[in-house]
């Protein structure tokens, strides 16, 4: 039974008991990310995440922060998204107290020393360079820029070199004090531990957390009345592209329909696009389709890397499959296979304590509730062939399609014709 407790200050604690494991994960989530930012300080959520690994009073150097968990074989990291930021430590369950102490210490007591801020600017700029130099990764950033344009939802989570250069210690402190408050924060502990022990230790460790109300995210403006293409010129041996459409957010009744549709199209080795693009046409080593759903945005996208001379052929083939799923009902056999794949994959991936902490934590943080795996399976089972066709007609309208490419192309014109 999942344990939930909300403290008087607004901090939420979730306990996920697991009997057949020696591990325990402590995950702290805060409801803030790149959608909460301003243009001048774009990337500040990500910058602050980096700074939490630099110095606290108790652990006064990056070495001290990393060494405490390295000495016991702990796995630890952090991540920044559009709607949340997370910090976690996964340890042997017998070391649970150390994990709570470590995570709470960096979360509550980071000093943000000026000397480390200046060094970390360079680190983050190199991270931006890394993504820019990797066509497969940069194509995904370009796709979201194409969808949402010059607003927080369309900005790179890491920011730009210019914005990273302009962020000051005062900016970081102000953002941290505004957003890193109890009401915005959720602590999830998954492992072979009792609910009372977890709640007692977490309550004590986070007793000094700031209170207040963080600022809300900037509302996303969505407008599109024709297919759009964005090309980033780069001398490469193959072109990477993201081809997809705006779809539904996590509160929409069709959220699971789009998940099934994405999996059927390109979420497994026997999916339509994998068979067509890789096995039959021999155009790509990798091709995948996924559905992204956030509190206020969503999209379905297919990504592949292909020979520069065969990009148009590959894009046309994907568009053809999008049109086919709009036009023809999916067979009961294919629908059943897709559903069983989704359920089986979820059951496998959610065996570990760190995966379960994210599964329950992000749902509670963004939706205000948690779902059991059985509930998710029931939602998947309810999806019908009619649901798929209806949703495909809504999503894959010509005026809803977007294509981002990274490769040796200087104009969008050849690709615009394909999307019409």
The answer to the question of residue 103 being in a domain is yes
- Domain identity same for 197 and 242: no
- Domain identity same for 191 and 288: no
Nearest Cα neighbor of 357 from 179, 198, 158, 154 is 198
The structure tokens listed for 87 are: 């910090």
- Domain identity same for 147 and 247: no
State whether the Cα torsion 220-226-232-238 is positive or negative: positive
Q: What is the pLDDT of residues 124-146, one digit of tens each?
A: 999 999 999 999 999 999 999 99
Largest CA distance in the chain: 63
The answer to the question of residue 211 being in a domain is no
Q: What are phi and psi of 200, to 5 degrees?
A: -65, -50
Residue 149 sits in which domain range? 3-205
Q: How far apart are CA 375 and CA 7, in angstroms?
A: 27
Q: How far apart are CA 288 and CA 302, in angstroms?
A: 6
The pLDDT of residue 414: 86
Q: How far apart are CA 105 and CA 110, in angstroms?
A: 7
The structure tokens listed for 207 are: 């007793």
- Domain identity same for 414 and 335: yes
- Domain identity same for 7 and 60: yes
Q: What is the pLDDT of residues 81-125, one digit of tens each?
A: 999 999 999 999 999 999 999 999 999 999 999 999 999 999 999
- Domain identity same for 74 and 136: yes
The structure tokens listed for 406 are: 């990274």
132: part of which helix (H) or strand (E)? Answer: helix 114-133
The answer to the question of residue 111 being in a domain is yes
The pLDDT of residue 387: 98
The answer to the question of residue 57 being in a domain is yes
- Domain identity same for 174 and 293: no
Please identify, among 146, 170, 205, the residue that sits at the C-terminal boundary of a domain. Answer: 205
The pLDDT of residue 218: 87
Could you tell me if 300 and 247 are in contact, meaning their C-beta atoms sit under 8 angstroms apart?
yes
Q: How far apart are CA 314 and CA 321, in angstroms?
A: 11
- DSSP single-letter state for residue 274: I
Number of domains in the chain: 2
Q: How far apart are CA 196 and CA 247, in angstroms?
A: 42
The answer to the question of residue 52 being in a domain is yes
Q: How far apart are CA 84 and CA 365, in angstroms?
A: 8
CATH number at residue 75: 3.30.830.10
Q: What is the pLDDT of residues 181-231, one digit of tens each?
A: 999 999 999 999 999 999 999 999 999 999 999 899 989 999 999 999 999
The answer to the question of residue 310 being in a domain is yes
Could you tell me if 361 and 185 are in contact, meaning their C-beta atoms sit under 8 angstroms apart?
no
Nearest Cα neighbor of 382 from 290, 272, 271, 254 is 254
Please identify, among 142, 172, 205, the residue that sits at the C-terminal boundary of a domain. Answer: 205
Query: Does the pLDDT of residue 263 top 80, yes or no?
Result: yes
The pLDDT of residue 276: 98
Q: How far apart are CA 420 and CA 416, in angstroms?
A: 7
**Could you tell me how far CA 110 lies from the centroid of its own chain?**
25
Nearest Cα neighbor of 81 from 5, 27, 146, 156 is 156
Query: Does the pLDDT of residue 55 top 90, yes or no?
Result: yes
Nearest Cα neighbor of 347 from 335, 355, 336, 337 is 355
CA angle 295, 297, 300 (to 5 degrees): 125
Residue 226 backbone zone (phi > 0: left; psi -120 to 50: alpha; other: beta): beta
- Domain identity same for 297 and 194: no
The pLDDT of residue 82: 97
The answer to the question of residue 223 being in a domain is no
Query: Does the pLDDT of residue 420 top 80, yes or no?
Result: no
Q: How far apart are CA 406 and CA 121, in angstroms?
A: 26
The answer to the question of residue 55 being in a domain is yes
- Domain identity same for 272 and 159: no
Number of residues in the chain: 420
Could you tell me if 24 and 193 are in contact, meaning their C-beta atoms sit under 8 angstroms apart?
yes
The structure tokens listed for 198 are: 């977890």
Query: Can you tell me whether residue 347 is helix, strand or coil?
Result: helix
- Domain identity same for 137 and 275: no
Q: What is the pLDDT of residues 331-363, one digit of tens each?
A: 999 999 999 999 999 999 999 999 999 999 999
Query: Can you tell me whether residue 61 is helix, strand or coil?
Result: coil
Residue 106 CB coordination number (10 Å):
23
- Domain identity same for 52 and 138: yes
**Residue 58 CB contacts under 8 Å (≥ 6 apart), including other chains:** 105, 109
- Domain identity same for 35 and 147: yes
Q: Which contacts (CB < 8 Å, 24+ apart) does range 351-355 have?
A: 352/21, 352/23, 352/25, 353/16, 353/18, 353/21, 353/23, 353/24, 353/25, 353/90, 353/190, 353/191, 354/23, 354/25, 354/27, 354/75, 354/88, 354/90, 354/190
Q: What are phi and psi of 186, to 5 degrees?
A: -135, 130
Please identify, among 205, 236, 256, the residue that sits at the C-terminal boundary of a domain. Answer: 205
């Amino acid at each position: 039974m999942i344990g939930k407790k909300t403290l008087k200050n607004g901090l939420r604690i979730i306990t996920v008991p697991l009997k057949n494991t020696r591990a325990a994960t402590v995950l702290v989530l805060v409801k803030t990310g790149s959608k909460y930012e301003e243009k001048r300080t774009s990337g500040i959520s990500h910058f602050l995440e980096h700074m939490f690994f630099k110095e606290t009073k108790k652990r006064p150097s990056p070495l001290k922060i990393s060494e405490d968990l390295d000495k016991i074989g702990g796995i630890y990291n952090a991540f920044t998204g559009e709607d949340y930021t997370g910090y976690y430590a996964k340890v042997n369950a017998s070391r649970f107290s150390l994990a709570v102490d470590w995570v709470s210490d960096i979360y509550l007591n980071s000093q943000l020393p000026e000397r480390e801020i200046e060094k970390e600017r360079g680190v983050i700029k190199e991270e931006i360079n890394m993504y820019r130099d990797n066509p497969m990764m940069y194509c995904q950033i370009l796709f979201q820029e194409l969808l949402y344009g010059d607003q927080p939802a369309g900005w790179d989570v890491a920011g730009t070199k210019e914005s990273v250069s302009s962020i000051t210690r005062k900016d970081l402190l102000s953002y941290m004090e505004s957003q890193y408050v109890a009401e915005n924060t959720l602590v999830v502990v998954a492992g072979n531990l009792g609910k009372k022990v977890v709640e007692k230790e977490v309550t004590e460790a986070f007793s000094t957390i700031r209170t207040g109300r963080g600022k809300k995210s900037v509302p996303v403006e969505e407008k599109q009345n024709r297919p759009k293409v964005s090309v980033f010129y780069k001398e490469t041996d193959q072109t990477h592209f993201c081809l997809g459409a705006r779809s539904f957010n996590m509160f929409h009744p069709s959220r699971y329909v789009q998940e099934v549709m994405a999996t059927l199209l390109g979420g497994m080795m026997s999916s339509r696009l994998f068979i067509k693009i890789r096995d039959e046409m021999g155009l790509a080593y990798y091709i995948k389709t996924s559905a992204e759903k956030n509190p206020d945005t969503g999209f379905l996208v297919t990504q592949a890397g292909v020979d520069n001379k065969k990009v148009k052929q590959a894009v046309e083939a994907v568009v053809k499959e999008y049109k086919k799923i709009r036009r023809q009902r999916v067979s009961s056999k294919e629908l059943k296979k897709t559903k069983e794949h989704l359920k089986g994959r979820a059951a496998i991936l959610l065996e570990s304590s760190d995966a379960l902490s994210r599964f329950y934590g992000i749902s509670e943080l963004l939706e205000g509730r948690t779902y059991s795996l059985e509930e998710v399976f029931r939602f998947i089972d309810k999806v019908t062939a009619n649901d798929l066709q209806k949703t495909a007609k809504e999503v894959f309208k010509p005026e809803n399609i977007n294509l981002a490419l990274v490769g040796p192309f200087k104009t969008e014109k050849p690709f615009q014709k394909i999307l019409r």
